[in-house]
Structure 1
Amino acid sequence: MKMSILVFGSHKFLATLPDQIHDANTFNLKVITDFNQVVSHIQIAPPDVIFVQASLKGSIELCSWLKQQSQLSWIHCILVEDRQEQLVARKQHGWEWEFEMTANALNQGADAYIWLLTEEADDRVTTASATKSLILGQLTVGLRKARKYRELMNTNDLLSAIALADSLTDLNNRRALEWDLPRQINKARSQNLSLSLIILDVDYFKRVNDQHGHLVGDRLLQLLCARLRHNLRSQDTAFRYGGEEFVVVLAQTTSEEAQKVAERLNRVVRKKGFAINNKLTLNITISLGVASLEPSDDDNGMSLLDRADQCLLAAKAGGRNQVINWEQLSAISELKAVS
């Protein structure tokens, strides 16, 4: 992947930068002169390194804004001082004043502050070779920082995936559910979408462990989860909630649609046994509880989970191997209250 460089400056300023920066085979280079446009571009496609022309309107504001964006902290911001009055003052005031100017630039958000010194040769004004070397040196620093950041993000992604995955079944684990369910609820409410949830449990799973041992029980759960995954839709996300209990979050799904999904899962589990090995095949059933998001539900999904869990308990109490949804459970409760 090519590294990206953004120049907030004019094309005349771009011409003063070292030739290596212009190499299209090495860098993706973008030049922008408008403050609002450059902020928008950074938010959409963050560069690895940004060169800022000090004489351009909004240059210091851009450095300060960038410093405030913690999620963009890897971007190396190089402020290049090209203001003629500053270059003249530098000659007049000496190195102490220059150090003070550098400190001010760094405090305002720049990661590096470089004076664009020039020299005259053959009636031409060219960027001094020492300045070019310094620019290239700071570019190297920025690219190194960006690569380290990418490596860190890849490592964090891997660690997050490990932390949120159930090692036995390869499904997402309960911690992942606690992170994802509030996000799904927020999305459903902000976009006015339906959201439903299934809790399912393997019927009489303890008998499997007692009769065949825990290794067989573990293998059964692996096979069950593989079958569940193959029969879920693209927007459905399955989690191992604990033991032989699982949760399926159904995005953009009404209660009626969730009922159909749950009935399909119930059917595909009971219709065919699970071949543990070439000598042992186990037939099992599951019980399922279904609930859909309501306006009164809390943002973390605890009340939604609780309703689905009540439906699961009702399914198990009613004979197992069935689906009970919240509407059915509410109707049953009303009948009991009347009788």
Structure 2
Amino acid sequence: MKVLLSGRSHRSNVTTKRPTPMDASILVVGSDEFQTTLLERLRYIAACTVEVTSSPKEVLPLIQAEQPDVLILQASQVGSLDLCRQIKQQTSLAWIYCILIAEQPQNAIEEILPGWNWELGFRAAALEGGADAYMWLLPNHGKGDMSWEAGLTLQNHLLQAQIQTGIGRVQIYRNLMRTNDVLSAIALADPLTELNNRRALDWELPRQIQNARVRDVPLSLLMLDIDYFKSINDNYGHPVGDRVLQLFSARLRHNLRFQDTPFRYGGEEFAIVLSNTNGQEAQQVAQRLNRAIGNQCFTVDNNRALNITASIGIASLQPDDDANGVSLLNRADQNLLRAKSNGRNRVICEANQPSDETPS
């Protein structure tokens, strides 16, 4: 069950100094009575989406799917502390702020063993178990005397502070992850062509190889080189060469399938990972690219259109290829060199595949 909560702090009529953003989320795990108590309390001190559930044993898949900012657990429920441990042991979930709440007042428990500081003992166990915070919670309805009212007000403030602290930490984490994503995208992107760069290929190819082997599906790789690119730079200048690289990259993108991933390997050389593609299918893709590149001029500017061709080498994943893709890359590159030495503007396949060594 999800509910949207907003409002003022209960009984104290003090609004939060740092308003909780509306996209913040809280998951409450506990008995029906515990949920009712928390929902009534949260209704006045938070502005967020709250979801409730009852069983700690069944909540981990929900946490993995929903990834709430704050998790509030009923301390007395079996499995609550173990759930904290499981969350903190998973890198993908460890940032979730876990608050363990005991709804039984300390003085009632101390009657069992007088003189023992149960609150400190339970708090130490909770923090050692992975909880970020631990607190006691008075019932929402009591005798109405001044001491109970004062205690309830203080606990409301504490709960509010714990939730704000948790959401604040999560926001810092999320912002850091967004920054890291931007930096990673910058590090893995070629600024000229807007394709992924060689570093990205070094990261992606092993992942694709592992996926192909786990799923038992084929994988192929194309290596492309723009023919006579040095003469373009020499005759027209590097700005024209850069523009050709941009137009060439755009034409690649527009003529690839959804599962194909292009990379600028370096200079005028490109690589394309063909997922779930065998050698024969890779040859068809390569020949289509060869025609798309060579059959239409590249309009560099209003006064200049250049005829561009490309040489392409193909390799398909073999059982004895290494997991990093070094041997796969080497074979594709060797076939590319064969295509260039045999006259350029052609596709060269694996030795065990039918080869079209004539211009496409």
TM exceeding 0.5:
yes
Q: Is the 8 A contact 1:7 1:31 kept in 2?
A: yes
**Which among 38, 55, 77 is matched to residue 17 of structure 1?**
38
CA displacement, residues 208-265 of structure 1 (integer Å, 9 cap, x when unaligned) = 1111111111111111111111111111100000000000001111111110110011
Q: How does 1:284-323 map to 2 (within 5 A)?
A: 284-323=308-347
Query: Structure 1 residues 201 and 20 mapped into 2: Cα distance closer, same or farther (>3 Å)?
Result: farther
CA displacement, residues 257-305 of structure 1 (integer Å, 9 cap, x when unaligned) = 1101100111111111111111121111100001111111111111111
User: Deviation of residue 92 (structure 1)?
Assistant: 4.3
Query: Structure 1 residues 76 and 83 mapped into 2: Cα distance closer, same or farther (>3 Å)?
Result: same
Q: Is the 8 A contact 1:22 1:29 kept in 2?
A: no
Q: Is the 8 A contact 2:105 2:138 kept in 1?
A: no
Residue identity matched to 1:38: V
Equivalent in the alignment of 1:155: 179
User: Deviation of residue 85 (structure 1)?
Assistant: 7.5
Q: Is the 8 A contact 2:109 2:118 kept in 1?
A: no
Equivalent in the alignment of 1:108: 129
**Which among 235, 239, 250 is matched to residue 215 of structure 1?**
239
User: Deviation of residue 184 (structure 1)?
Assistant: 0.7
Cα distance in 2, alignment partners of residues 98 and 217 from structure 1: 72
Equivalent in the alignment of 2:216: 192
The answer as to 2:199 corresponding to 1:175 is yes
Equivalent in the alignment of 2:142: 120
Q: Is the 8 A contact 1:81 1:114 kept in 2?
A: yes
Q: Match of 1:300, SS?
A: coil
Q: How does 1:268-279 map to 2 (within 5 A)?
A: 268-279=292-303
Query: Structure 1 residues 216 and 74 mapped into 2: Cα distance closer, same or farther (>3 Å)?
Result: same
Residue identity matched to 1:48: D
Q: TM-score, normalised by structure 2?
A: 0.85
CA displacement, residues 142-200 of structure 1 (integer Å, 9 cap, x when unaligned) = 11112222211111111111110001100000000011111111111111111111000
Equivalent in the alignment of 1:165: 189
Residue identity matched to 2:92: Q
The answer as to 2:55 corresponding to 1:31 is no
The answer as to 2:81 corresponding to 1:57 is no
Cα distance in 2, alignment partners of residues 331 and 167 from structure 1: 35
Cα distance in 2, alignment partners of residues 288 and 331 from structure 1: 12
Query: Structure 1 residues 331 and 66 mapped into 2: Cα distance closer, same or farther (>3 Å)?
Result: closer
**Which among 269, 276, 283 is matched to residue 259 of structure 1?**
283
Query: Structure 1 residues 20 and 242 mapped into 2: Cα distance closer, same or farther (>3 Å)?
Result: farther
Comparing 33-42 with 251-260, which one deviates more in the overlay?
33-42
Cα distance in 1, alignment partners of residues 108 and 336 from structure 2: 76
Cα distance in 2, alignment partners of residues 318 and 86 from structure 1: 90
Residue identity matched to 2:315: A
Matched residue count? 329
Q: Is the 8 A contact 2:229 2:268 kept in 1?
A: yes
Residue identity matched to 2:298: F
Cα distance in 2, alignment partners of residues 249 and 272 from structure 1: 24
Comparing 168-177 with 150-159, which one deviates more in the overlay?
150-159
Cα distance in 2, alignment partners of residues 296 and 66 from structure 1: 39
Q: Is the 8 A contact 1:54 1:83 kept in 2?
A: no
Comparing 80-89 with 7-16, which one deviates more in the overlay?
80-89
Q: Is the 8 A contact 1:48 1:76 kept in 2?
A: yes
Structure 2 residue runs of 5 or longer lacking an equivalent are 1-21
User: Deviation of residue 38 (structure 1)?
Assistant: 1.0
Equivalent in the alignment of 1:337: none
Equivalent in the alignment of 1:325: 349
Equivalent in the alignment of 1:228: 252
Cα distance in 1, alignment partners of residues 39 and 160 from structure 2: 7
Q: Match of 1:79, SS?
A: strand
Counting aligned pairs with the same residue, the percent is 50
Cα distance in 2, alignment partners of residues 318 and 87 from structure 1: 90
Structure 1 residue runs of 5 or longer lacking an equivalent are 333-339
User: Deviation of residue 15 (structure 1)?
Assistant: 1.9
Q: Is the 8 A contact 2:280 2:353 kept in 1?
A: no
Q: Match of 1:77, SS?
A: strand
Query: Structure 1 residues 29 and 97 mapped into 2: Cα distance closer, same or farther (>3 Å)?
Result: closer
Name the Cα RMSD after superposition. 2.5
Q: TM-score, normalised by structure 1?
A: 0.90
Q: Match of 1:246, SS?
A: strand
